[in-house]
Amino acid sequence: MRNIHIDYHGPDHGFQAASLLAKEAAKESKMMDPTIIAWHQSSRVGATPPYYDGANPDTWWEKYGEGNGGRLEVSVGDDYQFIMMDARGYETVGDIPLRNL
């Protein structure tokens, strides 16, 4: 898997802003239709990420993303990490933001 780091030191503008930066970086890295398959936020105060028995809560999201088609990891600052896949070639499903083979 390829890795890109966006050096971002400004205030945390949340998931939406970080995901847009990650998608733009993926496009610049030749990904035609970047889609987030998994993500992680390092600095969630008091939040607990989804967890299942036997999984390491710090790495399961990355393994899930890579195992389900992720080809690019984009880190935005020190807070957000995204696993991206290229969704071109997938059909859209109506107006909802899903893709189908």
Beta bridge partners of residue 99, listed in sequence order: 92
Question: 3.40.50.620, 3.90.79.10, 3.40.50.720, 3.30.1490.340: which CATH number matches 2-93?
Answer: 3.30.1490.340
The answer to whether the Cα torsion of 11, 13, 17, 22 is positive or negative is positive
Closest-CA residue to 33 (of 96, 93, 89, 83): 89
Tokens describing residue 36: 């987030």
Two tokens, residue 92: 């859209």
What is the model's pLDDT at position 31? 93
Q: Where are the domains of the chain?
A: 2-93
pLDDT at 48: 53
- Answer yes or no: pTM beyond 0.95: no
